[in-house]
Every structure is written in structure tokens, then in C-alpha cells.
Structure 1
Amino acid sequence: MRQPYYDSILLIERLHRHFLEVLKVELDRLGVQDINNVQSLILYNIGDDELTVGELTARGYYLGSNVSYNVKKMHENGYLAQERSAHDRRSVRVKLSDKGLALRDKIKDLFARQVEALDRNGLTTEELTRANETMRKLERFWSSSLDYTGFSVNPAA
């Protein structure tokens, strides 16, 4: 069990890096040079919502300081609009600008092309569903290990 577990950890990290590289290649293909791949993923995850940096961190599982920096850069480059909350003047809400919405739509198109190509490349819906179930079990296992009560996780939960 030890080696498959370590292999899974390494594979998850490597898959994430590969996916970010796919986004980088797409940005290059589109001639977009004022936003990086990580920022474009954050932008995509904002979607049509209006969020605080804290909400974005919680939803996207990004590190808070990195999100703050990336939100600042995306705002400076015109991808995000910022607005102080009417209820809490200390809180800033962000949403996609027209430029951000346009890029989000191009990323959405990339994902649609990839989904169409999955079947041609031998990945079925069932296989992806099983992989997602396994990753969710790992997520629950790691989340439960943070409560310091031990590592007994009910895999059926």
C-alpha cells in the first residue's frame, strides 16, 4: 500500500502541473501574455460570481497570499473589477470584467474541446467518475487527518 499511496501523491501533483501547462499553451496560442496560467484558472473559477478573496480561497483551495497577489495582478491587467462591500467596507468583492469574461469563455471553449477529445483518447465517463471518487476519498482522508484525531476514515462516507 505504501508505494501506490506515494505514487498517487506524486501523480496528483504532476497532473496539476501538466494541466497548468495546458492552460499556458492555450494562453500562448491565443496571444494572451498579461495573465499567467494560475491566474487564468482562478479567473475561470470565479465565473459569473462576485466573491471576496477569502471566498475565492475557500472555493478554489488556493493559498490566500497567492490569491491576493494574483487578484491584484488580474485587476491591474483589466481582467477583474473590484468593489468595496456595501455591508463591510473592509471587504473587497471581485468579479470578472468584460475582458475577464471573454478570456473565461475562451478557456471554457478549451475545456469543451478537451471533453470531446477524451473519448477519442480512451477515457470514458465511467473511468473519470471512478477516478474522481477515488480522489474524493483521498481528499476526505487528508481532511480528516487535519483534525488530529487519527487517520481512521470511513471510505464509504
Structure 2
Amino acid sequence: MINSYLETISLVERLHREVLEVIKADLDRNGIRDLNNVQALILFKIGDDELTVGELTNRGYYLGSNVSYNVKKMVENGYLVQERSLHDRRAIHVRLSPKALAVRAKMQAMFERHVAQLGQGVLKADDFDAANSVLRRLEQFWAGNLSYPMRLPADRVSSAA
């Protein structure tokens, strides 16, 4: 099982890099030079929501990058509209600008093209459902190991001491 587990970790890492490359290529084809692939994926995930920077971080929309830097650059380049919260002056809310909504629409079209291509005998909805189920369980396992220390079975505690 260790080989399968390590292969899954490697595959998730490679898929993450690969999807970012696909997004980068699409940005290049569309002549979008002032937005990087990570920022584009953040914009896609924000969608119609209005979020604080903290919510972006908590929801994992930053994808391991520096969320404050990316928000700053996207505001500077006109992709995000930034406003102070009326209820908590320390909190800053961001939402997509019309420029960002146009990029998001292009990304949506790209993903829809991918689904159409994949649906031509490459993968079925059931394949995605099965893969997503496994990945969600793995995500829950890892999240649980962050929240609670790993516990050894009772018979291994005495030998580990």
C-alpha cells in the first residue's frame, strides 16, 4: 500500500502543476500577460462571491502561494475590487472586477471544452465521481492529521516508548 500511497501523492502534485500549465497556456493564447496562472485560478474560484483575504486563505484558494501578494497584484492590475468591511474596518473584502469576470468566462469555456473532449470516450462522470470520492477521503485524512496528533494503536504504544 505504501507504493500506491506515494504514487497518489506524486500524482496529485503533478496534476496540480499540470493544470496550472494548462491555465498558463490558455492565458497566453488569450493574450493575458498581467495575470499568472495561480491568480487566474484564484479568480475562477472566487466567482461571484465577495470574500475577505482571510476567507481566501481558509478556503485554500491561494493554492500555496502568498495570498496577500496575489491579491495586491490583482487589485493593481484591475482584476479585483477591494473594499473595507462596513462591520469590521480591519477586514478587507475582494470581489471580481468586470475584467476578471471576462477572464473567468474564458476559463469556464476552457473547462467546458475539456469536459467535452474527455466525454468522448476518455473519462465518464462516474470515473470523476470515484476519483473525487477517494481524493476527498484522503483530504479528510490529512486534515485530521493536522488537527490531531497521529495515534499509535494500543499494542504499538509500549514498543514506541
TM over 0.5, shorter chain: yes
Count of aligned pairs: 152
Q: Judging changes above 3 Å, is the alpha-carbon distance between structure 1 residues 68 and 151 closer, same or farther for their aligned structure 2 residues?
A: farther
Contact 1:82 1:92 in 2 (8 A): yes
- Counterpart CA distance in 2 for 1:151 and 1:135 is 24
Contact 1:78 1:97 in 2 (8 A): yes
- Counterpart CA distance in 2 for 1:8 and 1:72 is 34
**TM-score, length-normalised on structure 2?**
0.89
- Counterpart CA distance in 1 for 2:100 and 2:152 is 42
Listed as ranges, the matches of 1:8-157 within 5 Å are 8-62=8-62, 66-146=66-146, 147-150=148-151
Unaligned runs of 5+ in 1: 153-157
- Counterpart CA distance in 2 for 1:151 and 1:140 is 18
Query: How many angstroms does 1:57 deviate by?
Result: 1.3
- Counterpart CA distance in 2 for 1:128 and 1:151 is 33
Contact 1:53 1:64 in 2 (8 A): no
- Counterpart CA distance in 1 for 2:30 and 2:112 is 16
How big is each residue's C-alpha offset from its partner over 1:134-153, in whole Å with a ceiling of 9 and x where there is no partner? 0011011111112115379x
User: Which residue number in structure 1 is paired with residue 159 of structure 2?
Assistant: none
How big is each residue's C-alpha offset from its partner over 1:23-56, in whole Å with a ceiling of 9 and x where there is no partner? 0000000000000000000011110111001111
Q: Judging changes above 3 Å, is the alpha-carbon distance between structure 1 residues 63 and 129 closer, same or farther for their aligned structure 2 residues?
A: closer
User: Which residue number in structure 1 is paired with residue 156 of structure 2?
Assistant: none
Please report the RMSD computed on the Cα atoms of aligned residues, expressed in angstroms: 1.7
**TM-score, length-normalised on structure 1?**
0.91
Question: Does 1:6 pair with 2:14?
Answer: no
- Counterpart CA distance in 2 for 1:63 and 1:116 is 26
Q: Judging changes above 3 Å, is the alpha-carbon distance between structure 1 residues 39 and 61 closer, same or farther for their aligned structure 2 residues?
A: closer
Q: Judging changes above 3 Å, is the alpha-carbon distance between structure 1 residues 80 and 29 closer, same or farther for their aligned structure 2 residues?
A: same
Stretches of 4+ aligned residues off by more than 6 angstroms: none
The share of aligned pairs that are identical, in percent, is 57
Unaligned runs of 5+ in 2: 154-161
